[in-house]
Amino acid sequence: MVVLGIESSCDETAAALVADDRRILADTIFAQIAEHTPFGGVVPEIAARAHLDHLDETIAAAMRQADMKFADVDAVAVTGGPGLIGGVIVGVMMAKAIALAHKKPFIAVNHLEGHALTARLTDDVAFPYLLLLVSGGHCQLLVVEDVGRYQRLGATIDDAAGEAFDKAAKLMGLGFPGGPAVAAAAAQATNPVRDLPRPMKGRDDCNFSFSGLKTALRQRVEAMRAADAFDDATRANLAAGFQAAVVDCLIDRTRHALEIARAAHPRLSALVVAGGVAANQHLRGALQQLATRYDLPIVAPPPRLCTDNAAMIAWAGIERLRRGETSGFDYAPRPRWPLDSTAPALAGAGVKA
Ligand code: KG4
Ligand code: ZN
């Protein structure tokens, strides 16, 4: 089975062809960085229009890469939510049109499920596993028990971790996207700032919060600017301090989640990390140490498959289709779509589900 996957829920316009034996036959991404850079963040209406402008060509490029025609495809999978709704609508309409015209099954998949199951595409990880999902739009800890069975142990109550990196970079004048910019500045630090707060650390739930850390950083930056002391060296030291604080919070919350997950699932197979922030080398190193302490393998898919992409959507589609599931052509795009519908709703900018 070969599935065409389409992703357009944030600022990546992406298409991929994936086979059910875990081969990625094509994987194309048009990243809208230039469109959003002047604003220092993703502007939903600009994103929706850019998806409309680029999705045709992105899909055509994927078909060329795999040297396939629509007739060769067995089904069309698309992100049906959660995400920026204009973009989700563009993708869903496109997927329905292709499926209808070529008489193929259509399946709308949850974007978060795409991230959650990527480790099965890349590393064939067995259920159950603990997933730390950290990106610009999501920050959650989930036990992935099976396809469609997720237990959310914690999530952010305000900003997502990647969003915090992006806002910190903007505050320090480091550019967009913020994560790689903060990491690059941090690498130049000679004396990292050590006393930034670690919100939620030690709490006995598994939730995250980054807004207090961001406020503390803003106060530092403003004070230094006022004292005319905000030079490159100071900026690097602040960036390193900020990065260390975020990593510390993520590790503390993940450690707590591991305890809970292990108690409930003694046969936990791995600690999996996904999402754009998983590209952060400090985080990867710290997670590796944590997993070793719990005698678990750590699975971190390559950065290209950690950030938003369509291969993960095609793969989630395959996992669902293999179970005989499809969606109807009356499927309605969803701005919010929690993976764990039993978990209480959380209100916050970084919470799409
Ligand atoms: O998964 P992704 O591409 O898109 C969303 O679904 O949000 O994640 C993008 C996020 C951005 O916030 C970006 O700043 C962050 O991932 N990011 C990083 C790094 N690379 C990307 N954060 C920290 N360190 C990095 N090296
Ligand atoms: Zn994502």
Hey, whose CA ends up nearest to atom 7 of ligand 1? 136
Q: What is the pLDDT of residues 167-183, one digit of tens each?
A: 999 999 998 889 999 99
Q: What is the mean pLDDT of residues 98-117?
A: 97
Residues at CB less than 6 angstroms from ligand 1: 10, 135-137, 162-163, 165-166, 177-180, 183, 275-277, 279-280, 307-308
**Helices within the chain (DSSP H only):** 33-36, 44-66, 85-101, 111-123, 161-171, 178-186, 211-226, 232-264, 281-293, 303-306, 311-321
Which pLDDT score is estimated for 137? 87
Q: Which residue lies with its CA nearest to atom 3 of ligand 1?
A: 307
- Which of 279, 292, 323, 277 is closest to 136 using CA atoms? 277
Proximal ligand: closest to the CA of 113? 2
Ligand 1 atom showing the smallest separation from residue 9 Cα: 6
In degrees and rounded to multiples of 5, residue 44 shows phi and psi of -55, -45
Measure 137 CA to ligand 1 centroid, in angstroms: 9
* Alpha carbon of 264 to ligand 2 centroid (Å): 27
Residues, CB within 5 angstroms of ligand 2 (ion): 135, 308
**156: DSSP letter:** B
Return mean pLDDT, the chain. Answer: 95
Instruction: Give the tens place of pLDDT for each residue, 32-43.
Output: 888 888 887 788
* Range 232-255 average pLDDT: 98
Residue 344: its pLDDT value, please? 78
**Res. 351 pLDDT band, cuts 50 70 90:** very low
Tell me what the mean pLDDT of segment 251-274 comes to.
97
Helical segments of 150-231, H only = 161-171, 178-186, 211-226
Distance CA 112, CA 118 (A): 10
Counting ligand 1 atoms within 8 A of each CB, the residue from 88, 135, 166, 242 with the most, and so the one to mutate, is 135
Is the per-residue pLDDT at 278 higher than 50? yes
CB–CB of 172/186 below 8 Å?
no
Among the atoms of ligand 1, which is closest to the Cα of residue 282?
24
Write the pLDDT tens digit of every residue in 288-298: 999 999 999 99
**Neighbour count for residue 295 (Cβ, 10 Å):** 6
- Please give the pLDDT value at position 157: 95
- Ligand 1 pocket test, pick from 307, 351, 352 with the greatest ligand atom count within 8 Å of Cβ, gives 307
CA distance 21 to 2: 9
Least Cα distance to 324 among 100, 97, 148 occurs for 148
